[in-house]
Amino acid sequence: LYEAGYKKDLLGKSVLVTAGPTREDIDPVRFISNHSTGKMGMELARAASQRGASVTLILGDTKLKAPLHVNCIKVVSALEMFNAVKTEYKNYDIIIKAAAVADYRPKYPASEKIKKTDTDGTVHNNLNLELEKTDDILEFLGNNKTKNQFLCGFSMETQDVVENSRKKLYKKNLDMIAANSIKEKGAGFGVDTNIITLITPSYDKQLGFMTKQETAHSILDEIIECTKRA
């Protein structure tokens, strides 16, 4: 099925997008997560599909429905997302990692609900949760990039946005990183708009204030330009 109005400049290309937050269990009733809604990744998957790509979306814990014609793999935790990515990644020309992956997870998730009061009546006024680092999925992808694969990460910062994001570009061996400043109005989580700077090893490009749909198409435009230059 073809949607009118979009140039099919990704025809024959395969695109893998990860989107949404991950969720890390503390006990059977509680978890750690973040404010990501998955909108940006969803728009990227939709836009790539509209432009003719064959798209797989690895989707974290969000209520949003995956776009039509996109192969959607639902995951919950960072570990599940990592496993899904490891199964899939070799088959794609372009990988865009928009997911907000938890950096830490409870080291010993409780199998029973954590209670404030023990059976002997002792009340716990404080609760210490030990957290352990999750695997960096994007760094794994950077270290295992297949030939001609284009890898785009996302970056969320509250200060020194471009400098800190550029560091991630090098550290994770990326071809591009889309840097998000969540402090600016109309940018970041839950809203339909974004203010993003695209950073590559050779230049920065400010996209300015636009809808997430427009941002998605601009990111794809830039990726296509970069792959032409390469």
- Interface positions, 80-139, toward ligand CTP (CB under 6 A): 97, 99, 101, 103, 134-138
Q: Is the dihedral of CA 3, 14, 94, 34 positive or negative?
A: positive
* Nearest-approach distance from CB 82 to ligand CTP, in angstroms: 8
107 DSSP 8-state letter: S
Candidates 174, 182, 185, 184; CA nearest to 157 is 182
Instruction: State yes or no: 172 annotated in a binding site.
Output: yes
Question: Which listed option, ligand CTP, Ca ion, none, makes contact with residue 31 (CB within 5 to 8 Å by class)?
Answer: none
Instruction: State yes or no: 150 annotated in a binding site.
Output: no
Candidates 147, 46, 142, 47; CA nearest to 93 is 147
Contact 134, 101 (CB under 8 A): yes
Please state, in angstroms and rounded to a whole number, the distance separating the CA atoms of residues 25 and 144: 29
The Cα angle at residue 204 between residues 41 and 49, in degrees rounded to 5:
30
Please, which residues bridge with residue 204 across strands? Answer: 199
Instruction: State yes or no: 204 annotated in a binding site.
Output: no
From residue 94 to residue 123, the character string flagging contacts with Ca ion as x (rule: CB under 5 A) and all else as - is ---------x--------------------
- Residue 34: active-site member: yes
* Nearest-approach distance from CB 65 to Ca ion, in angstroms: 26
Tokens 């429905």 appear where? 65
Task: Specify the residue, 9 or 163, whose C-beta has the smaller distance to ligand CTP.
Answer: 163
Instruction: State yes or no: 135 annotated in a binding site.
Output: no
Residues binding ligand CTP: number (CB under 6 A): 15
* Nearest-approach distance from CB 82 to Ca ion, in angstroms: 14
Task: Specify the residue, 46 or 105, whose C-beta has the smaller distance to ligand CTP.
Answer: 105
Contact 151, 141 (CB under 8 A): yes
Dihedral, 45, 50, 56, 61 alpha carbons, nearest 10: 30
Q: Tell me: does residue 53 bind ligand CTP (CB under 6 A).
A: no
Q: Tell me: does residue 19 bind ligand CTP (CB under 6 A).
A: no
Stretch that binds ligand CTP, among 58-66, 147-155, 201-209, 212-220 (CB under 6 A): 147-155
Binding site for ligand CTP (CB under 6 A): 78, 97, 99, 101, 103, 134-138, 153-156, 168
Binding site for Ca ion (CB under 5 A): 103
Query: Which active-site residues does the annotation give?
Result: 34
